[in-house]
């Protein structure tokens, strides 16, 4: 039976040939994923979250499900929990987008993670440390809204309240992938020790006015190294990656 590290390697390798260079092209030929192509691919495939402002994070989930389905011969398959999109082999895996300069990664609802870890012996968390280009002139945002056919309720309320539109990502690339594996008691320890927050976004509201569900927030720079099971360089400088993750070179 594969262990979590084995499955992490399978999932990462299914993405590497198309989206990684190992850093050998870090000075110019990084395989960026265009936002228009990604949104249209999700839309035409019936993937439900192509309309989201943070489309890149959803596209990573889409790619993980797609590549596992097409390339791993049923060993790891999509596992959807309501509107949440995971994959499942011997273990359940969540894929998350992290900005290259950020150390905070929102995860799923606390109740979902707690349930998954209890029923499956833990959960693996893939974090794609990504590079991206911003839509500075608003062309991508306008195109994205046109694809939806009408502004979202959130956009209407934001404009009515005079809140500015944050620049959207117009393209992204995989920098590196790191993977953690947490059992239920690890999550509780993380909250106690401060590297995991279990009340993120409860002071926020959805467009309809209702309070948002509490989510876990992972503080990547604070997670003990014991939980790190895998890392792979996709498009970072090899020397930088080797300095940060020597055991995975």
Q: Measure the CA–CA gap between 95 and 75, rounded to whole angstroms.
A: 17
Q: Measure the CA–CA gap between 140 and 157, rounded to whole angstroms.
A: 20
Structure confidence at residue 20 (pLDDT)? 95
Torsions phi, psi for 174 (to 5 deg): -70, 125
Beta strands in 15-115 (DSSP E): 33-34, 77-81, 84-88, 92-99, 104-109
> Buried b / exposed e across 219-233, counting CB within 10 Å, b at 16+?
ebeebeeebbbbbbb
Domain ranges of the chain: 4-248
Long-range contacts of 148-152 (CB under 8 A, 24+ apart): 148/51, 152/51, 152/207
Average pLDDT rounded to a whole number, residues 25-51? 89
**Are 145 and 79 a contacting pair, CB within 8 Å?**
no
By three-state DSSP, how is residue 194 classified?
coil
pLDDT band at 24 (very low <50, low <70, confident <90, very high): confident
Structure confidence at residue 50 (pLDDT)? 96
Nearest-Å Rg of the Cα atoms of the chain is 18
pLDDT band at 82 (very low <50, low <70, confident <90, very high): confident
* Residues constituting the chain: 249
> 55-71 and 4-19 are packed helices; what angle lies between their axes, rounded to 10 degrees?
110
**Are 189 and 182 a contacting pair, CB within 8 Å?**
no
Which class for 118: exposed (0-12), middle (13-18), buried (19 or more C-beta within 10 A)?
exposed
- pTM (two decimals): 0.91
* Residue 179 CB neighbour total at 10 angstroms: 23
pLDDT single digits (tens) 105-150? 999 999 999 999 999 999 999 999 999 999 999 999 999 999 998 7
Structure confidence at residue 183 (pLDDT)? 97
What the block records as the tokens of 147 is 């694809």
pLDDT band at 187 (very low <50, low <70, confident <90, very high): very high
**Are 98 and 129 a contacting pair, CB within 8 Å?**
yes
């Amino acid at each position: 039976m594969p262990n979590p590290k084995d499955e992490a390697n399978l999932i990462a390798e299914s993405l590497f040939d198309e989206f990684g260079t190992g850093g050998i092209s870090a000075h110019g030929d990084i395989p960026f994923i265009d936002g228009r192509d990604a949104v249209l691919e999700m839309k035409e495939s019936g993937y439900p979250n192509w309309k989201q402002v943070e489309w890149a994070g959803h596209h990573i989930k889409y790619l993980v499900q797609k590549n596992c389905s097409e390339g791993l011969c049923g060993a790891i398959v999509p596992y959807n929990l309501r509107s949440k999109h995971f994959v499942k082999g011997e273990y359940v895996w969540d894929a998350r987008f992290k900005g290259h300069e950020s150390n905070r990664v929102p995860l799923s609802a606390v109740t979902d993670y707690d349930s998954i870890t209890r029923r499956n012996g833990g959960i693996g968390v893939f974090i794609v440390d990504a590079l991206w280009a911003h839509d500075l002139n608003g062309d991508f945002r306008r195109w994205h809204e046109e694809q939806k056919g009408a502004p979202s309720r959130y956009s209407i309320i934001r404009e009515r309240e005079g809140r500015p539109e944050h620049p959207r990502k117009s393209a992204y690339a995989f920098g590196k992938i790191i993977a953690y594996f947490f059992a239920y008691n690890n999550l509780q320890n993380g909250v106690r020790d401060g590297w995991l927050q279990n009340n993120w976004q409860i002071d926020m509201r959805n467009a309809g006015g209702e309070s948002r569900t509490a989510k876990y927030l992972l503080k990547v720079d604070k997670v003990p190294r014991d939980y790190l099971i895998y890392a792979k360089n996709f498009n970072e400088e090899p020397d930088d990656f080797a300095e940060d993750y020597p055991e995975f070179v």
